[in-house]
Amino acid sequence: MNQVIELDDSHYITSGVERAVYQHPTDPQKLLKVLRAQDGQNTRFTFRDITTRLMPDVRLRLIRKEYDEYMRVQLRYPSPDIRLPITHLYGLAQTSRGLACVAERVSGRDGGVGTTMKKMIQDGTFSQTELGLFNTLVRQFYDLGIRAGDLKPHNLVFGYRDAGYECVLVDGFGDIHALPVRSLGRWANAIGLNDSFQIVAKRTGLIWDRKDRTFRRPDDT
């Protein structure tokens, strides 16, 4: 019989569009991402929100795509020497607040969870160190052929894992689009990554060099 993990408000960390995130009560290195009930959520008039409300299975498809991509990349690069720039996934678990995806926790310097790129940009704490780590993530995405359908600043987190301070995509990996064009091959995925990183540039004010596949700050010469 599966043991139900008891969660309360003290374990709550944050909420995304689809899932609420909790600290695992007995494992400090893991998070529990519980699918949020649609009832009571504010509906925005975006294609994604309207689609998921009319077709609830679309939400489950997004999660399946995330796990599919994680398994695909792990099986292709099984060597422990390769540090994947995406958060590790550990399956599913029953909790008192619903079925949860068990995920790796990226920790911050203060012992809390890591800080998103979006918040660092807003707070003015995004330094040359973070820029270098972000460019490392960018290079890995192209080199390893990782697919990401929602590569946005709020899904990019800076924090600590076993290997030290890193930039990690914690959500939004996988070819989640209705037409999975990025899955056609590396060339198609590279085109998609180019578009995704261009969006990151627009939202952060960073300068994206499409040819060199690197970012720089506007004040860098």
Q: Is 9 exposed, middle or buried (0-12, 13-18, 19+ CB in 10 A)?
A: exposed
pLDDT of residue 65: 92
Q: Which of 101, 111, 117 is nearest to 22 (CA)?
A: 101
Task: Please check whether residue 147 lies inside any domain of the structure.
Answer: yes
Domain that holds residue 115: 9-216
Task: Please check whether residue 15 lies inside any domain of the structure.
Answer: yes
| Cα–Cα distance measured from residue 15 to residue 46, given in angstroms and rounded to the nearest whole number | 18
Segment holding 65, helix H or strand E: helix 57-76
Task: Please check whether residue 85 lies inside any domain of the structure.
Answer: yes
* 21-51 pLDDT per residue, tens: 999 999 999 999 998 876 545 555 554 554 5
Averaged confidence pLDDT in the chain:
89
Contacts for 128 with CB less than 8 Å, ≥ 6 apart: 217
Has this prediction a pTM greater than 0.85? yes
Task: Please check whether residue 104 lies inside any domain of the structure.
Answer: yes
Contacts for 10 with CB less than 8 Å, ≥ 6 apart: none
Task: Please check whether residue 221 lies inside any domain of the structure.
Answer: no
Q: Residue 45's CB: how many other CB atoms inside 10 A? A: 6
- What is the domain-level CATH number for residue 147? 1.10.510
SS3 30: strand
Segment holding 209, helix H or strand E: strand 207-209
DSSP secondary structure code for residue 60 in this structure: H
* 44-75 pLDDT per residue, tens: 555 455 455 555 567 788 889 999 999 999 99
Task: Please check whether residue 2 lies inside any domain of the structure.
Answer: no
> Distance between the two ends of the chain, CA-based, in angstroms?
61
* 201-216 pLDDT per residue, tens: 999 999 999 999 999 9
Task: Please check whether residue 4 lies inside any domain of the structure.
Answer: no
Number of domains, the chain: 1
Task: Please check whether residue 134 lies inside any domain of the structure.
Answer: yes
Residues paired with 165 in a beta bridge: 160
